[in-house]
Amino acid sequence: MRCPVCQQPLEANDKWNIHYIRPRSEGGTDNLANMIMVHPDCHRQIHSQHLHVVKPVSIEA
């Protein structure tokens, strides 16, 4: 899995944060479809730069 912000791999032993695509304060849910995993620095960038992040589409073989 890759971070949707920096495109670097998210490894099991890395630190990462959960980002809510639609904030819970704006009616977003705890549903997995509303959450993405990102690196902590990338999470700070999302909020400080007001980035719009979308959930990557999974391609199954």
Return the ∠ at Cα 57 (arms to 40 and 48), rounded to 5°: 30
pTM of the model: 0.84
Helix, strand or coil, per DSSP, at residue 47? helix
pLDDT tens digits in sequence order for the chain, 61 residues long = 899 999 999 998 989 999 999 999 999 999 999 999 999 999 999 999 999 999 887 766 5
* Distances in whole angstroms, Cα of residue 55 to Cα of each of 33, 35, 48, 58: 8, 8, 19, 9
For the chain, how far is it from start to end, CA to CA, in angstroms? Answer: 15
Q: Report pLDDT for 14.
A: 87
Closest CA to 38 of 7, 13, 27: 7
Q: Where are the domains of the chain?
A: 1-61
